[in-house]
Amino acid sequence: MKTPLQSLFRPFVVAVVACLALAACAAPGPKQPLPERVQVTWAPDDQLSEVRDNQIQRGWLRTEDWKKSLSEYLRQRANLVLPNGQRLDVKFDDIKLAGSFEPWRGPNAQDIRFMTDLYPPRATLQYKLIGANGQTIREGQSKLIDMSYLQRTVTTSTDPLRYDKRMLDDWINKEFVRKDV
């Protein structure tokens, strides 16, 4: 005769094995290499407002982390809209991420990035679009700001850089997506 514990053991083991099998299936495959035709560089950290205004490195997102994340995102998104053979070089001269830290709110809030209308995402960048023949098609400087970043919907509410990425999406769509199609 089985005890109540023994009768629960078998379904538990089956459930654990099923969960592990599902997790193995859902694991991401090898990471795709980033396109080399879109290059992103940054001004030195001491010239970036986000770094100057957050020298203590408050919050969990470090400078190298958000720079890497935004660079990869910009490379992937621009790669989707550029015609074959074209290259894009982007240099961030300055950036201020959405939100800001308000340490005066007390020790329990000093690592919280507050999102208010006072702290929209901003960026200044230079870009050069190069054709397949190596000739410069277009180059310029753009000053980006999304003053209504809190009023617009975002697709991923858990990404800490969602507002900054959307600002970059807006820029890519404005500068590089063909409107005559």
Tens of pLDDT, residues 48-104: 999 888 766 666 678 999 999 999 999 999 999 999 999 999 999 999 999 888 877
Q: Which of 105, 93, 88, 91 is nearest to 35 (CA)?
A: 88
The answer to whether 88 touches 140, Cβ cutoff 8 Å, is no
Q: What is the pLDDT of residue 16?
A: 55
71: its two tokens: 């660079």
Which of the 8 DSSP states describes residue 105? G
Structural domain boundaries in the chain: 34-176
Give the model's pLDDT for residue 28.
54
How remote is the C-alpha of 102 from its chain's centroid?
23
For the question of whether the overall pTM of this predicted structure is more than 0.95, the answer is: no
Residue at token pair 């894009």: 88
pLDDT at residue 174 in the model: 95
